[in-house]
Amino acid sequence: MSHRPDTPLLDTVHYPSDIRKLDKDKLPQLADELRQEMVSAVSVTGGHLGAGLGVVELTVAVHYVFDTPGDKLIWDVGHQAYPHKIVTGRRDRIRTLRQGGGLSGFTKRSESEYDPFGAAHSSTSISAALGFAIANKLSGSNGRAIAVIGDGAMSAGMAYEAMNNAEAAGNRLIVILNDNDMSIAPPVGSLRNSLARLVSSSKYLGPRAVAEKIAGMMPEPVQRWAERTEEYMRGWVTGGTLFEELGFYYVGPIDGHDVNALVEVLENVRDADKGPMLVHVVTKKGKGYGPAENAADKYHGVVKFDVVSGKQDKGPGGGPPSYQNVFGETLARLAETDPKICAITAAMPSGTGVDKFADAHPDRAFDVGIAEQHGVTFAAGLAAQGMRPFVAIYSTFLQRAYDQVVHDVAIQNLPVRFAMDRAGLVGADGATHAGSFDLAYLGTLPNFVVMAPSDEAELARMVKTMAKYDDGPIAVRYPRGGGRGTAIPENPEPLEIGKGRIVKQGSKVAILSLGTRLEEAEKAAEQLEAKGLSTTVADLRFAKPLDEELIRKLLSTHEVAVTVEEAAIGGLGAHVLTLASDEGLTDGGLKIRTMRLPDRFIDQDKPEKQYDEAGLNAPQIVETVLKALRSNSAGVEEARA
């Protein structure tokens, strides 16, 4: 394709079909421009930077070689897909990434036909790609499915479950292992060591060697040998790796920043007829942007930053500590005098605050990799043997380990402590990362205690409560970010299980709050008082067991009762309604309303806007109370007061 040297090449590339028109020797230039564009975009939006920088060449090469969107390209997690978005018709919106109404920070089916499968939670790509490949096989279509999965994501069991089943896909399935020797933190475990051995024990495989191996053009004696057994052939190509044992032809390691080599290797892989292939590509997280390459976290996730210096705009600082750090620091302190306390994270040491614990007690901190299911059952084993394990997992990621929570923990009534961070709406990560369902999924389980603090001092008390509680499973859920600035007690008092508190006493309206909506509940109470409506505010602290005595009293002494929580239906409101119905507490005409997340997924935005959309801010609490007061006994709203 002819291209005027004075115009950026990227300006001529809107879709992968434009890349495919380019001469191969133009691809390095395209990759350079794509990298610059990505840095520029993320400098104004913030987001996941390091992972995308590492796959710029891979993005160009895959779209050059494969016939996307007919061939299905599936990015695992999807946090590395920004360059892919730029070359698949979304460059004009790339500066809306992760903003309200803008592009998602992950792959999303509704956004583009080039995103055949949505992601954000890790390690789903091989299963999904296998589904596409088998569907193609069944329908007689030639299309291929290409999963690009990171070394961190490869630590999850699901990846192996998929590979274990992959043989039937034949050459319709290609897995590209993007090995940058990083997860969010440095990766852990034996897989990491095994990949490192593969990388260090051989030079990068050049396109020619790959072609020869795939075509079976081996040195004479080897070829004769190889021809005799299919098994040997596999071994020769694969080097006998774990992947080979799982039925894949292993090709690698390949230099993931040499775009022309990548193209040639992928062309060979595309045209090979050897069954499912795994291409081991070695990349650098943060590649090509100095501040990212030099950062310990390789700029996995950043806020807005200055492109020249790389300095992130983290604000003036000095604000209230984050819930994650309150959790980690409190637990670390408690562990000083309790040698049974352990902490477990599934590849999120800094996000969960377990890094603080690990600094103080390295032998009792466990990063299990992206392995939430294993993490929970591992904790159950620790608890069964008398330890006091705290499993710190984001609310959204604990969803993956639900059966382990039910079967290994709850049914056996084991005292595993769950610290569920990122509860409620989380902002820029959007619906996939919202911690909406934990109150419903844990609150329904016999034996569980479930708490939610209204501020960081309460969280410290709840962590202490968990450390002291050996009677069964116990969980606390708290939001992303900083608290209200309440002083954190040096020596937090444990709470009495199942006891809430009255924050403000009134007589006509009762707001029953769970978690950090308390601040909005208090604001709403002020506004109601200003309208002459005497309002009680209760901080229930426990979704389970409920403070039945307190709730009974509130429901029988107020005209309107409203529950408020940052969770989907099935949480606090459902439990309060069940109590009210079981005991006939509404029979006397009490007007009861439950305020919770709506029955739809809420996309990325600033959290306060998300809560506005969800109808959980103070004005909406006020409106709910006024509406209830206006409704008559048939539930019909009467004329506005």
Ligand X SMILES: CC(=O)[C@@H](O)[C@H](O)COP(=O)(O)O
Ligand Y SMILES: Cc1ncc(C[n+]2csc(CCOP(=O)(O)OP(=O)(O)O)c2C)c(N)n1
Q: For binding to ligand Y (CB under 6 A), which residues are involved? A: 51, 54, 77, 79-80, 121-122, 150-153, 180, 182-184, 285, 346-348, 370, 372, 397, 400
How near is the Cβ of 319 to ligand X at its closest, in Å? 16
How near is the Cβ of 248 to ligand Y at its closest, in Å? 18
170 is in an annotated binding site: no
Q: Which does 51 bind (CB under 5 to 8 A by kind): ligand X, Mg ion, ligand Y, none?
A: ligand Y
Q: What single-letter DSSP state applies at residue 277?
A: E
CA distance 131 to 373: 23
CA distance 523 to 316: 26
How near is the Cβ of 283 to Mg ion at its closest, in Å? 8
Of 71, 429, 455, 605, the one binding ligand X (CB under 6 A) is 429
455 is in an annotated binding site: no
Question: C-alpha distances in angstroms, 450 versus 315, 428, 570?
Answer: 34, 27, 13
Find all residues with CB under 8 Å of 186, minimum gap 6, and list them: none
Tokens 């291209």 belong to 3
Q: Which does 429 bind (CB under 5 to 8 A by kind): ligand X, Mg ion, ligand Y, none?
A: ligand X
204 is in an annotated binding site: no
Residue 276, H or E segment: none
CA distance 601 to 434: 9
CA distance 609 to 605: 6
Q: Which is nearer to ligand X, 76 or 329 (CB)?
A: 76
Q: Are 523 and 623 in contact (CB under 8 A)?
A: no
CA distance 282 to 319: 40
Greatest Cα pair distance, the chain, in angstroms, is: 95
How near is the Cβ of 299 to ligand X at its closest, in Å? 11
Find all residues with CB under 8 Å of 7, minimum gap 6, and list them: none
Q: Which is nearer to ligand Y, 62 or 551 (CB)?
A: 62
Q: Which does 400 bind (CB under 5 to 8 A by kind): ligand X, Mg ion, ligand Y, none?
A: ligand Y
CA distance 277 to 173: 7
In the residue annotation, 293 being an active-site residue is answered as no
Q: Which is nearer to ligand X, 199 or 303 (CB)?
A: 303
Nearest to 51 by CA among 370, 346, 284: 284
How near is the Cβ of 151 to Mg ion at its closest, in Å? 4
CA angle 261, 266, 267 (to 5 degrees): 100
152 is in an annotated binding site: yes
Q: Which is nearer to ligand X, 184 or 524 (CB)?
A: 184
Asked whether position 280 contacts ligand X by CB under 6 A, the answer is no
Structure tokens at 152: 């961190």
Nearest to 432 by CA among 48, 11, 33: 48
Residue number with the smallest Cβ distance to Mg ion: 150
635 burial (CB, 10 Å; 0-12 / 13-18 / 19+) is: exposed
Nearest to 443 by CA among 405, 481, 469, 412: 405
In the residue annotation, 372 being an active-site residue is answered as yes
* Residues comprising the chain, all counted: 641
136 is in an annotated binding site: no
How near is the Cβ of 394 to ligand Y at its closest, in Å? 7
Q: Which does 172 bind (CB under 5 to 8 A by kind): Mg ion, ligand Y, ligand X, none?
A: none
Find all residues with CB under 8 Å of 456, minimum gap 6, and list them: 320, 321, 323, 326, 482, 483, 484, 486, 488
Q: Which is nearer to ligand Y, 345 or 610 (CB)?
A: 345
Q: Which does 514 bind (CB under 5 to 8 A by kind): Mg ion, ligand X, ligand Y, none?
A: none
Binding mask 175-204 for ligand X (x = CB under 6 A): ---------x--------------------
How near is the Cβ of 65 to ligand Y at its closest, in Å? 21
How near is the Cβ of 105 to ligand X at its closest, in Å? 7
616 burial (CB, 10 Å; 0-12 / 13-18 / 19+) is: buried
Q: Which is nearer to ligand X, 64 or 327 (CB)?
A: 327
171 is in an annotated binding site: no
CA distance 540 to 219: 75
Q: Which is nearer to ligand X, 77 or 509 (CB)?
A: 77
CA angle 47, 48, 53 (to 5 degrees): 125
List of residues contacting Mg ion (CB under 5 A): 150-152, 180, 182
Three-class SS state of 480: coil
Q: Are 21 and 263 in contact (CB under 8 A)?
A: no
153 is in an annotated binding site: yes
Q: Which is nearer to ligand X, 61 or 77 (CB)?
A: 77
Binding mask 455-494 for ligand X (x = CB under 6 A): -------------------------x--------------
CA distance 494 to 470: 13
Binding mask 29-58 for ligand X (x = CB under 6 A): -------------------x----------
Tokens 């919106």 belong to 93
48 is in an annotated binding site: no
CA angle 277, 280, 282 (to 5 degrees): 160
How near is the Cβ of 148 to ligand Y at its closest, in Å? 9
In the residue annotation, 90 being an active-site residue is answered as no
Tokens 């790796």 belong to 241
CA distance 546 to 451: 10
Q: Which is nearer to ligand Y, 107 or 180 (CB)?
A: 180
Q: Which entry of 26, 98, 364, 400 is annotated as an active-site residue?
A: 400
Q: Which entry of 57, 264, 372, 522 is annotated as an active-site residue?
A: 372
Residue type, 132: F
- Name the phi and psi angles at 203, rounded to 5: -75, 165
Of 152, 301, 389, 479, the one binding ligand X (CB under 6 A) is 301
558 is in an annotated binding site: no
Please measure the distance between the N-terminal and C-terminal CA atoms of the chain and give it in whole angstroms.
Answer: 71
Q: Which does 80 bind (CB under 5 to 8 A by kind): ligand X, ligand Y, Mg ion, none?
A: ligand Y
Please report, as residue ranges, which positions from 396 to 425 form the binding site for ligand X (by CB under 6 A).
422
Helix axes 230-238, 207-215, angle to 10 degrees: 170
Of 16, 351, 353, 369, the one binding ligand X (CB under 6 A) is 351
Q: Which does 480 bind (CB under 5 to 8 A by kind): Mg ion, ligand Y, ligand X, none?
A: ligand X
CA distance 343 to 391: 6
122 is in an annotated binding site: yes
Q: Which does 301 bind (CB under 5 to 8 A by kind): Mg ion, ligand Y, ligand X, none?
A: ligand X
Asked whether position 79 contacts ligand X by CB under 6 A, the answer is yes
Nearest to 149 by CA among 186, 117, 118, 176: 176
Q: Which is nearer to ligand X, 77 or 176 (CB)?
A: 77
How near is the Cβ of 550 to Mg ion at its closest, in Å? 49
Q: Which residues are annotated as a binding site for Mg(2+)?
A: 151, 180
Catalytic residues: 285, 372, 400
- What is the binding site for ligand X (CB under 6 A)? 48, 77, 79, 184, 301, 351, 422, 426, 429, 480
Q: Which residues are annotated as a binding site?
A: 79, 120-122, 151-153, 180, 289, 372
Q: Which residues are annotated as a binding site for thiamine diphosphate?
A: 79, 120-122, 152-153, 180, 289, 372
